[in-house]
Amino acid sequence: MGPAAAIMLCFALFGLPQFVGSNLAAVGLLFVLFGCASLPLTYCLHFFFTDEMAALTWMLVGYFTFSFLSTTTNLMLELLVEAQVAGTRGALDVTQWLFRLVSPHYCLVKGLSDLTANHNDDHPRHALDAEVTGYHLLVMTMQTGAGLALLFAIEYGILAHAAELLRGCALDLLGAWQRARRTRDEREAHGEEEAREEDEDVLAEQRVVEAGAAGASIVADGLRKRYPGEAQEAVKGVWFAVRAGEVFGLLGVNGAGKTTTFGMLTGEQRPTGGDARIAGHSVLRELQQGHRHLGYCPQFDATQATMTGREHLTMYARLRGITPHAVVQAHVAQLLEQLGLSQYSDQPAGTYSGGNRRKLSVGIALVGRPTCVLLDEPSTGMDPGAQRAVWDLISRGMQDHAVVLTSHRMEECEALCTRVGIMVDGRLRCVGSAEHLKWRFGNGYDFEFRINGGEEQREAIGAFVAEALPKAFVQEESKVRLKYHLEQGGTVELSELFAKMYEACQQFGVDDYGVSQTSLEQ
What residue segments make up the domains of the chain, in order of their start? 2-155, 198-433, 442-517
Superfamily of domain 198-433: P-loop containing nucleotide triphosphate hydrolases (3.40.50.300)
Which tens digits make up the pLDDT trace of 278-331? 999 998 888 888 999 999 988 888 888 889 999 999 999 999 989 899 999 999
Q: Model confidence over 42-52: pLDDT tens digits? A: 988 888 887 77
Contact status, residue 106 vs residue 120, Cβ threshold 8 Å: no
CA 75 vs CA 65, 69, 84, 280: distances in Å: 15, 10, 14, 60
CA distance 272 to 251: 22
In this predicted structure, what is the pLDDT of residue 522?
A: 55
Given a contact cutoff of 8 angstroms between Cβ atoms, the answer to whether 297 and 375 are in contact is: yes
441-499: per-residue pLDDT in tens? 766 778 888 888 678 888 888 888 888 887 788 888 887 888 888 776 555 666 777 88
Q: pTM of the entire structure?
A: 0.66
Which pLDDT score, from 0 to 100, does residue 164 have? 63
Q: Tell me the residue type at 459.
A: E
d(CA 354, CA 82): 63
Least confident of 223-227, 234-238, 446-450: 446-450
C-alpha dihedral (361, 148, 38, 301), degrees to nearest 10: 10
Give the per-residue pLDDT at 348: 93
- What does the pLDDT read at residue 278? 94
Identical fold, 198-433 and 442-517: no
CA proximity to 305, closest of 28, 53, 27, 2: 53
* Mean pLDDT of the 238-244 span: 93
Lowest mean pLDDT among 12-16, 224-228, 500-504: 12-16
pLDDT tens digits for range 440-454: 776 677 888 888 867
Residue-wise pLDDT for 105-154, tens only, equals 999 988 898 888 888 888 888 888 988 889 999 999 999 999 999 988 88
Looking at residue 247, what is its pLDDT?
92
Q: What CA–CA distances, in Å, run from 54 to 67, 242, 302, 444?
A: 20, 41, 16, 55
pLDDT at residue number 397 = 67
Are 493 and 472 spatial neighbours (Cβ–Cβ below 8 Å)? no
Check if the beta carbon of residue 336 is closer than 8 Å to that of residue 313.
yes
Does residue 218 contact residue 265 with C-beta atoms inside 8 Å?
yes
Q: What is the CATH number of domain 442-517?
A: 3.30.70.260
> Residue 452: what pLDDT?
80
Query: Which residue, 231, 207, 234, 200, is CA-closest to 221?
Result: 207
Per-residue model confidence (pLDDT) at position 195: 46
Residue 116: Cβ within 10 Å count: 15
